[in-house]
């Protein structure tokens, strides 16, 4: 591989890490970055990433062929680099190197305190990789002080290996290129591995903890009877690990700080007098050459103090977690691997599913273990529980795996519907519904996990509590395709079937699991929204459903909103108004239709919705006009919501507020009033307001206030109309002092304006100026535009012609 191509690979992989890790490090990046790789240019401007092909199809094919032929060379180079890294690692005790690399990469909060809810992104994968190398071959090293320059050398070697692994995946993807052109399976394989390689924590810690404890509460049997410990025990130990790490880290850093302070005071001129402060401000002690050796030693000593920060004994953990010692001992045995325990050759390269993802500890000696990434312990518990429960049980011991599966499914279904009930507090929310009807004379039966009915909208919810296997997460194409079909495709099919049933008659009947009957006037439902929820986070697949269409997992048209349970919890918690969720889903469906804008995280989509409205029509126009094949991606839009959810009250500083969508206060009051009143069609009126962009919102409510004041002064009717940017919707506001005239004029005027503007949907809002309400009348007209002679005559009589260009 040429040096130029290697440099391009390094640049592209560095950008990829920052993209797939979302906000991690985003604030430290420049506003614009550009990387020119083989056949592609990647540009990042703020939170938007653009990919543009720079080669014609024939040149791309030649380039991919050359890349595919370089797989062997890359593997040889990586093998040499791993051996060189081992020569360094084998000089030192494993626990000391792992601790030093962890401290090098650990995120720091206020007062240098690591926040347990934060993750270091790709750098945490670096720590796991170093630990995995020791699990494969611990060596016989005895040195226990790892100098700072050695830590940096190890870190950069590992970083380089991850860069090569990215290029390795690119080359392997190219080697799988078929002559038929686009290969959806190959593309999905590559993206799965890239995501799994760098992304570690798929949600926020508190929500994950509630989820696991909730599953355990659903079980009728005691997990500790089978495992020797419970999920509650494991969560308590995970909390204890973080607390111990916090306390130890703060103590060590405080000792290092005191030593540096002593150096500062001893440095010439000594003390803190006026002369000393002036000199030290111009020439601080740490920049003086004769202090370099001392400061280097101080740094090494501080790092040495950190080496036992992530080492724990069973007794320490039991005391800190307040859990029975025998249970903690059993848990740590199950959660630990011994040095040299991993013999698989492929683990010598950076791997998407390292063993530490399931067993996050390394046994250093009896009842003493190292946790390479302390924040990973609690995240590993679900995988550890499920792996242990799947193991064959000793004779006479009942296998509780099936009971756990039922509890997991029950929790996911009930809590998903509960989240939607929280999002729509005035709606009807139902779960575990059976139904039957005849299709073409043949009986058909089905089950629906969740049904939420708000106004004339029905959310049809299907839930899957299963998980992807490690083989699938490593990109095994057959396993990945089959399991995605089970987790996403099957749920989508069930949702389509339930929608078909609800459309089969004006009134349908469900049978809830708890007995009785549920009659639904489905003929009055005008909007069906399909939702599939997975307990297992599948963001790398569900954020861009068009890829699953290409793979054949989903059929074209009527794509669902497919979301993980953890993301659903976060989005519902951030809603200011229930209608925002429906409006967000409307915009998400439009993203699917546009097809060339992607995200790596569902929270990024929702964050973009809050900040910028999730509108990409301008990109579609730009792409069409230029004839470009460019694709766009967004990243970093979750940062405001992350800041709120990640805040830990143990650290100083106020908790950041939940991000809110920009809108005038008058609009907030109107949306709140619509939600409280629950008049039929209120969601359509609310959505029409949300369809306004930020500038139009200010303009609309400014004019609304002006028209109300004019009516109040002269006692006449005053109106204002806007055609929305989508070109198929319009919005009219009328203020009047007479209610009967307001009702009459609002209907007739909106009908005429809808026809004149050739729109499919029109919303009218009427305000009686003598009332204290934000609005007193509202209508929604929705029908395809058709030419009508009577309407043409009415237009000529009552409305002036539209201005040219309107």
Question: pLDDT at position 725, please?
Answer: 78
What is the CA 532 to chain-centroid distance, rounded?
A: 16
Q: Give the Å distances, CA to CA, from 598 to 167, 616, 648.
A: 22, 11, 31
Strands (E), 619-702: 631-634
Q: Would you tell me how many other CB atoms lie within 10 Å of the CB of residue 323?
A: 21
Distance CA 453, CA 171 (A): 49
Tokens encoding 666: 């008058």
Secondary structure (DSSP) of 347-396:
GGS--SS-GGGTS-EEEEETTEEE-SSTTHHHHHHHHHHHHHHHSPPPTT
Asked if 546 and 596 touch (Cβ cutoff 8 Å), the reply is: no
Strands (E), 455-491: 457-464
Distance CA 120, CA 23 (A): 11
- Burial label, 553 (beta-carbon count in 10 A; 0-12, 13-18, 19+): buried
578-582 contact pairs (CB < 8 A, 24+): 578/423, 578/424, 578/425, 578/426, 578/427, 578/454, 578/675, 579/671, 579/674, 579/675, 579/683, 579/686, 579/687, 579/690, 580/661, 580/690, 581/423, 581/424, 582/454, 582/457, 582/529, 582/683, 582/687
Residue 240, strand partner residues: none
Question: pLDDT at position 397, please?
Answer: 60
Question: pLDDT at position 698, please?
Answer: 94
Distance CA 717, CA 402 (A): 68
User: Whose CA is closest to 761, among 781, 778, 733?
Assistant: 781
- Burial label, 160 (beta-carbon count in 10 A; 0-12, 13-18, 19+): middle
Distance CA 286, CA 612 (A): 46
Identify the DSSP state of 461: E
Asked if 387 and 337 touch (Cβ cutoff 8 Å), the reply is: no
Question: pLDDT at position 41, please?
Answer: 83
Tokens encoding 754: 């809808």
Residues 6+ apart with CB under 8 A from 183: 176, 177
The three-class DSSP label of residue 157 is: helix
Angle between helices 325-335 and 314-321 (to 10 degrees): 120
Question: pLDDT at position 110, please?
Answer: 38
Residues 6+ apart with CB under 8 A from 109: 115, 118, 648, 651
The three-class DSSP label of residue 771 is: coil
Asked if 92 and 175 touch (Cβ cutoff 8 Å), the reply is: no
Residue 571, strand partner residues: none
Residue 447, strand partner residues: 434
Tokens encoding 640: 């405001």
User: Whose CA is closest to 114, among 241, 202, 297?
Assistant: 241
User: Whose CA is closest to 189, among 515, 603, 591, 540?
Assistant: 540
What is the CA 616 to chain-centroid distance, rounded?
A: 20
Question: pLDDT at position 119, please?
Answer: 40
Q: Give the Å distances, CA to CA, from 63 to 73, 417, 514.
A: 16, 50, 61
Residues 6+ apart with CB under 8 A from 496: 530, 558
The three-class DSSP label of residue 438 is: strand
Residues 6+ apart with CB under 8 A from 4: none
Distance CA 512, CA 521 (A): 16
Residue 312, strand partner residues: 369
Tokens encoding 775: 């609005």
User: Whose CA is closest to 633, among 45, 89, 79, 156?
Assistant: 45
Asked if 769 and 739 touch (Cβ cutoff 8 Å), the reply is: no
Angle between helices 739-757 and 789-798 (to 10 degrees): 120
Q: Would you tell me how many other CB atoms lie within 10 Å of the CB of residue 547?
A: 19
Question: pLDDT at position 28, please?
Answer: 41
Asked if 205 and 378 touch (Cβ cutoff 8 Å), the reply is: yes
Residues 6+ apart with CB under 8 A from 70: 1, 171
Question: pLDDT at position 805, please?
Answer: 47
Name the strand (E) or helix (H) holding 338. strand 336-338
Average pLDDT for runs of 10 along the chain of length 806: 37 45 41 76 83 80 82 92 96 92 71 38 82 95 87 93 88 68 70 78 84 93 91 96 89 79 80 83 76 71 77 96 96 95 90 92 93 92 93 70 93 96 94 93 93 96 92 80 92 95 95 91 94 91 86 85 95 95 95 88 93 88 80 87 74 79 95 92 93 93 95 93 85 94 92 92 94 93 90 85 58
Strand order in the sheet with 442-454: 518-520, 508-512, 428-439, 442-454, 457-464, 527-534, 561-564
Distance CA 607, CA 718 (A): 37
Distance CA 451, CA 433 (A): 8
Length in residues, the chain: 806
Asked if 314 and 328 touch (Cβ cutoff 8 Å), the reply is: yes
User: Whose CA is closest to 531, among 579, 585, 569, 570?
Assistant: 585
Distance CA 569, CA 602 (A): 12
Distance CA 471, CA 468 (A): 8
């Amino acid at each position: 591989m040429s040096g130029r191509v290697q440099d391009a690979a390094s640049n592209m992989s560095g950008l990829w890490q920052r993209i797939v890790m979302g906000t991690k490090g985003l604030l430290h990046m420049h506003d614009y970055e550009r990387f020119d790789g083989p056949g592609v240019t990647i540009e990042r401007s703020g939170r938007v990433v653009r990919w543009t092909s720079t080669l014609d199809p024939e040149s791309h094919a030649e380039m991919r062929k050359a890349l595919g032929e370089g797989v062997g060379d890359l593997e040889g180079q990586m093998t040499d680099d791993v051996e060189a890294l081992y020569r360094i690692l084998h000089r030192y005790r494993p626990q000391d190197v792992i601790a030093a690399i962890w401290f090098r990469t650990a995120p720091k909060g206020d007062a240098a305190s690591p926040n347990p809810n934060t993750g270091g992104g790709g750098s945490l994968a670096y720590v796991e990789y170093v630990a995995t190398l020791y699990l494969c071959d611990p060596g016989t090293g005895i040195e226990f002080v790892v100098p700072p320059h050695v830590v940096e050398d190890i870190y950069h070697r590992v970083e380089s290996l991850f860069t090569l692994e990215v290029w390795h995946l690119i080359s392997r993807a190219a080697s799988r290129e078929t002559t038929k052109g686009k290969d959806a399976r190959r593309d999905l394989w590559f993206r799965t591995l890239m995501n799994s390689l760098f992304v570690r924590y798929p949600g926020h810690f508190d929500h994950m903890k509630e989820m696991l404890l909730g599953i355990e509460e659903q079980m009728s049997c005691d997990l500790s009877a089978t495992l020797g410990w419970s999920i509650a025990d494991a969560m308590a130990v995970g909390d204890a690990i973080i607390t111990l790490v916090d306390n130890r880290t703060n103590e060590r850093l405080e000792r290092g700080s005191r030593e540096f302070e002593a150096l500062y005071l001893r440095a010439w001129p000594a003390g803190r007098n006026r002369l000393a402060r002036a000199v030290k401000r111009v020439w601080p002690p740490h920049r003086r050459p004769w202090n370099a050796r001392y400061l280097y030693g101080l740094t090494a000593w501080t790092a040495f103090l950190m080496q036992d920060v992530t080492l724990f004994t069973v007794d320490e953990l039991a005391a800190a977690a307040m859990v029975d010692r025998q249970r903690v001992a059993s848990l740590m045995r199950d959660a630990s691997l011994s040095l040299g325990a991993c013999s698989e050759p492929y683990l010598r390269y950076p791997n998407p599913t390292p063993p530490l993802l399931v067993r996050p500890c390394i046994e250093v000696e009896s009842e003493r273990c190292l946790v390479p990434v302390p924040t990973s312990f609690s995240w590993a518990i679900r995988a550890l529980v499920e792996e242990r429960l799947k193991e064959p049980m000793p004779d006479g011991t009942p296998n509780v795996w099936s009971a756990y599966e039922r509890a997991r499914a029950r929790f996911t279904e009930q809590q998903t519907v509960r989240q939607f009930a929280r999002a729509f507090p005035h709606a009807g929310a139902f779960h575990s519904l059976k139904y039957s009807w005849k299709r073409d004379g043949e009986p058909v039966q089905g089950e629906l996990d969740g049904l939420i009915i708000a106004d004339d909208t029905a959310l049809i919810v299907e839930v899957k509590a299963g998980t992807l296997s490690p083989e699938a997460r490593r990109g095994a194409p057959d396993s990945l395709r089959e399991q995605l079909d089970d987790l996403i495709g099957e749920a989508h099919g069930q949702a389509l079937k339930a929608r078909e049933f609800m459309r089969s008659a004006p009134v349908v009947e469900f049978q809830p699991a708890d007995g009785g009957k549920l009659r639904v006037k489905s003929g009055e439902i005008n909007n069906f929204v399909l939702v599939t929820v997975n307990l297992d986070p599948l963001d790398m697949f569900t954020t861009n459903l068009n890829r699953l269409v290409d793979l054949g997992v989903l059929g074209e048209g009527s794509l669902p909103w497919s979301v993980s349970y953890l993301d659903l919890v976060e989005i519902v918690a951030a809603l200011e108004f229930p209608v925002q969720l429906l409006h967000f889903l409307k915009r998400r469906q439009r993203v699917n239709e546009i097809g060339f804008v992607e995200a790596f995280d569902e929270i990024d989509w929702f964050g973009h919705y809050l900040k910028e409205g999730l509108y990409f029509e301008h990109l579609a126009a730009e792409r069409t006009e230029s004839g470009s094949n460019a694709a766009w991606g967004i990243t970093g839009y979750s940062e405001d919501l992350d800041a709120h959810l990640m805040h830990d009250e143990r650290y100083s500083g106020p908790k950041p507020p939940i991000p809110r969508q920009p809108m005038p206060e008058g609009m907030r009051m109107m949306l709140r009033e619509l939600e409280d009143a629950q008049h039929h069609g209120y969601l359509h009126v609310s959505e029409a307001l949300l369809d306004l962009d930020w500038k139009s919102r200010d303009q609309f409510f400014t004019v609304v206030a002006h028209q109300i004041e004019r009516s109040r002064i002269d006692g006449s009717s005053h109106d204002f109309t806007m055609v929305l940017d989508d070109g198929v919707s319009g919005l009219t506001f009328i203020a009047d002092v007479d209610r009967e005239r307001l009702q009459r004029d609002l209907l007739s005027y909106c009908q005429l304006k809808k026809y004149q503007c050739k729109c499919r949907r029109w919303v009218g809002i009427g305000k009686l100026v003598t009332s204290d309400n934000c609005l007193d009348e509202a209508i929604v007209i929705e029908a395809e535009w058709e030419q009508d002679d009577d309407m043409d005559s009415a237009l000529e009589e009552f409305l002036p012609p539209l201005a040219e260009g309107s």
